[in-house]
């Protein structure tokens, strides 16, 4: 009896198989993706047509996707195997949908959404992006003309043949009355540069409730196809010691007086060093006076009790 190659009860495996079936049953003439082999569901190959009305319009490009073991909780990694003049060949690229920016990835996104976004990203400027290239329009058009003949050793077909099969399958679906699913790029998907994203976190102050990102409620994240993934919602960061959240009371809050800046206030510094009170009198004199008062009170009480 043959043993299964993977655990079909795993949520990750179920998600991968579901996405592979969706792409196969709803083919597109502009892109295709599938596992590279039946024995390894975590390595995919993709083929996509260049975005129209661009220097890549006549190009057909091939690449590799690697899914992490915890997909879709963590994002996949992408690399182009075909030269494009936009991304370096056979090098992981840095995008907000890739493993270089796990903080921007959302489990609701899938491989189909990532491919549509990746196709649109080709028209953007590299700006020093990891894995990005700056080339002239003429050079990109030259590379695009020959990209369709590039053949993948694993897929055993060239790029033009792969998309020709997808285009034929899409036409057959249209004859059956099934329209290809339109995939919109989420507003949150933007080019992810490490430096720029770091600066955005420090400078951007977005009001609460204005974000267009999907909201995780009780660990349920809605997916693009209407299904739900039971992925844990991100917890709020714990409060630091002594820190509490302000509560609305309807009463004006008392103003907290700031502590004196010792480095910029020599008088306050001398006051702390010499142990002086606020009125300039040494603290030992205050303590001595307090002791004398206590003794006088004790003597008076003794006299009164003696009477």
Both tokens assigned to 156 = 């055993």
As a whole number of angstroms, the distance between CA 26 and CA 22 comes to 6
Closest CA to 41 of 57, 60, 11, 20: 20
Closest CA to 180 of 70, 24, 46: 24
Whether residue 100 contacts residue 198, with contact meaning beta carbons closer than 8 Å, is answered with no
Closest CA to 42 of 80, 15, 2, 3: 15
Both tokens assigned to 178 = 């099934």
Both tokens assigned to 80 = 């182009």
Instruction: Report CA torsion sign: 220, 223, 227, 230.
Output: negative
- Helix, strand and coil content of the chain, in percent to the nearest 5, comes to 35, 15, 55
Closest CA to 27 of 115, 109, 106: 115
At residue 229, φ and ψ (nearest 5 deg) are: -110, 130
* DSSP H stretches of helix in 148-265: 159-175, 194-203
As a whole number of angstroms, the distance between CA 77 and CA 191 comes to 14
Spatial strand order in the sheet of 31-37: 31-37, 40-49, 60-66, 77-80
Both tokens assigned to 13 = 């495996």
The yes-or-no answer on residue 94 being catalytic is yes
- Catalytic member of 94, 135, 152, 155: 94
Whether residue 57 contacts residue 144, with contact meaning beta carbons closer than 8 Å, is answered with yes
Regarding beta strands 77-80 and 60-66, do their DSSP bridges make them parallel or antiparallel, or are they unpaired?
antiparallel
Which residues form the catalytic set? 94
């Amino acid at each position: 009896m043959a043993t299964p190659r993977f655990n079909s009860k795993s949520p990750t495996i179920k998600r991968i198989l579901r996405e592979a079936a969706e792409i196969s049953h709803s083919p597109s003439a502009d892109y295709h993706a599938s596992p590279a082999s039946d024995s390894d569901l975590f390595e995919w190959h993709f083929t996509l047509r260049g975005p129209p009305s661009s220097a890549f319009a006549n190009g057909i490009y091939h690449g590799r996707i690697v899914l992490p073991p915890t997909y879709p909780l963590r994002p996949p990694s992408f690399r182009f195997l075909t030269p494009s003049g936009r991304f370096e060949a056979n090098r992981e690229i840095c995008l907000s949908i890739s493993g270089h920016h796990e903080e921007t990835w959302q489990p609701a996104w899938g491989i189909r959404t990532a491919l549509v976004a990746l196709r649109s990203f080709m028209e953007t400027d590299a700006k020093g992006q990891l894995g990005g290239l700056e080339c002239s329009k003429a050079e990109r058009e030259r590379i695009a003309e020959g990209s369709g003949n590039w053949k993948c050793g694993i897929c055993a077909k060239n790029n033009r043949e792969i998309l020709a099969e997808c285009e034929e399958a899409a036409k057959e679906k249209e004859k059956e009355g099934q329209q290809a699913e339109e995939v919109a790029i989420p507003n949150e998907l933007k080019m992810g540069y490490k430096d720029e994203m770091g600066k955005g976190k420090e400078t951007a102050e977005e009001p609460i409730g204005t974000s267009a990102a999907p909201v995780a409620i009780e660990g349920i994240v809605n997916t693009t196809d209407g299904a739900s993934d039971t992925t844990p919602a991100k917890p709020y960061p714990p409060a630091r010691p002594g820190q509490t959240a302000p509560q609305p009371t309807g009463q004006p809050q008392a103003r907290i007086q700031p502590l004196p800046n010792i480095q910029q206030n020599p008088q306050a510094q001398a006051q702390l060093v010499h142990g002086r009170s606020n009125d300039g009198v040494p603290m030992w004199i205050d303590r001595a006076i307090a002791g004398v008062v206590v003794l006088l009170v004790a003597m008076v009480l003794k006299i009164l009790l003696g009477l």
